Amino acid sequence: MNQVGGIEKYGFQALVPLETAIAKYFPHFSALGFEDVLLEQALNRILGEDVIAPINLPPFARSAMDGFAIFAKDSFGASPSKPKLLDIAGEIAIGNVPQHELNEGQAMEIATGAPLPRGADAVIRVEDTKVEGSRVKIFQAIPPQRNVILEGEDVTAGSLILHKGEEIRPDHIGLLRSLGIQKLKLAKQPRLVLLATGDELILPGKPLAPGKIYDSNNLMNSALLSRYGAVVVTQELLPDDPAIIRQEVLTGSNNMDVVVCSGGTSVGKKDFLPQVLQELGEIVIHGIAQKPGSPILLGKVGGKPVICLPGFPVANFISIITILGPLLRYLQGALKRDPRPIVFGRIAKNVSVKGLGRINYLRVNLQETDTGYVIVPKKLSGSGILRSLVESDGLVEIPADVEGLEEGEIVKVFLHLR
């Protein structure tokens, strides 16, 4: 195949808008299914079903303070100068069940978190009391339910507490654990092979021969994709050899949920991936209207997604956050396909856009002020300039039909993932 032929045969017909690409590509695939997972392993996983509370939380009315459980009305009229006097009818330690019911005119000593005795409807803080022999002085009037956490006040048994498609956060784990939940039905995590292609690529540890560069995409992608819930099973460097690439894509599509290539996606002589995908399966999208990150190839082999990312590292990174990452979340049924935090702020200066007709990803820094963020555009750009990402806090997406940004304009920034 020669260069001109290559362009004719596999070339970009026209760059496809990002939204169109997603709408056209994702429905080729469905969610991967579910598995039971121990709560201990559930952090950052996607819920495969709604979670219903099996019990009330707390499971009994508890005291919120150290003090005395009382009938609130027994405190009415009490004040520091005119305390009320109640009989001490026992003591409730935390973890114990009150032995008997409380009667009017009585108080039971109670610890924070201990169950309220039947009859009692309030707790007076120890600071507002004074014990005198078998009786306790109450120095303050309190209303019913004061310092009491009612049974089911946090969660009522049978209520929906988390939705299918939510990502499990640390505080979710706390709530699920409180409810005694041990296992969850979670979305299966996509299993990936990463194939970096290119005769110029070598692994660190080897000396840098002339014309060679260290591959950075496989390891960067592995780290980044883990934040989207993927499990990278293997990573390989492949030469620009169509037979080898074909074999590895085929093996990957047989054994993995998603095959991720990088490099070789464009229309040059050694860009074999379009050819390989056409031979093994189909190309759904070739070329997306974004900058950097346009030479991306979305294909399908044996029913599996095969995504070929551009080789230049920034283009590679952008393609992950715009397409591959969201696809991985889609395959897990996530409600939120883009996990990046979003902030708003005012742009510090005018920005003019060069590649009109494509979404432009502007690298920016955040400066915090009392009234919000000032968004400072970075000078650096270019799909080869990794430092432009490393030194930035996030990206502003400038729509394809927007010529630039005006100083002071409010913009939306997608922060880089940790």
Taking CB under 8 A as the criterion, which residues in 320-379 touch its own copies? 339, 341-345, 368, 370-373
Q: How far apart are CA 383 and CA 186, in angstroms?
A: 36
**Phi/psi of residue 273, each to 5°?**
-65, -40
Rg for the chain, CA atoms, rounded = 31
Per CB under 8 A, does 287 bind its own copies? no
Q: Which is nearer to its own copies, 299 or 311 (CB)?
A: 311
Residues 31, 173, 231, 237: which binds its own copies (CB under 8 A)? 173
State the alpha helices, DSSP H only, in 363-405. 387-390
Cα distances (Å, whole numbers) of residue 162 to 46, 53, 166, 339: 11, 9, 7, 17
Per CB under 8 A, does 134 bind its own copies? no
Three-state SS string across 205-230, please? CECCCCCCEECCHHHHHHHHHHCCCC
DSSP annotation of 174: H
Per CB under 8 A, does 182 bind its own copies? yes
Per CB under 8 A, does 257 bind its own copies? no
Q: Is the peptide bond before 310 cis (omega within 30 degrees of 0)?
A: no
**CB of residue 55 to its own copies, shortest distance in Å:** 7
Stretch that binds its own copies, among 21-29, 73-81, 109-117, 400-408 (CB under 8 A): 109-117
Per CB under 8 A, does 133 bind its own copies? no
Per CB under 8 A, does 23 bind its own copies? no
Per CB under 8 A, does 291 bind its own copies? no
- At 40 the three-state DSSP class reads helix
**CB of residue 108 to its own copies, shortest distance in Å:** 13
Residues 29, 44, 88, 278: which binds its own copies (CB under 8 A)? 44
**CB of residue 303 to its own copies, shortest distance in Å:** 29
**CB of residue 320 to its own copies, shortest distance in Å:** 9
Q: Which is nearer to its own copies, 295 or 305 (CB)?
A: 295
Per CB under 8 A, does 317 bind its own copies? yes
Question: Which residues have C-beta within 8 Å of that of residue 171, sequence separation ≥ 6?
Answer: none
DSSP one-letter string for 238-270: E-S-HHHHHHHHHHHHHHSSEEEEES--SSSTT
DSSP one-letter string for 52-90: E-SS-BSSS-EESSSEEEE-GGGGTT-BTTB-EEEEEEE
Stretch that binds its own copies, among 71-79, 105-113, 326-334, 396-404 (CB under 8 A): 105-113
Stretch that binds its own copies, among 170-178, 243-251, 254-262, 397-405 (CB under 8 A): 170-178
Q: How far apart are CA 197 and CA 207, in angstroms?
A: 19
Q: How far apart are CA 75 and CA 104, in angstroms?
A: 11
**CB of residue 385 to its own copies, shortest distance in Å:** 5
Per CB under 8 A, does 58 bind its own copies? yes
Q: How far apart are CA 209 and CA 83, in angstroms?
A: 89
**CB of residue 272 to its own copies, shortest distance in Å:** 12
**CB of residue 98 to its own copies, shortest distance in Å:** 8
Q: Which is nearer to its own copies, 250 or 398 (CB)?
A: 398
Per CB under 8 A, does 229 bind its own copies? no
Residues 256, 285, 351, 389: which binds its own copies (CB under 8 A)? 389
Per CB under 8 A, does 80 bind its own copies? no
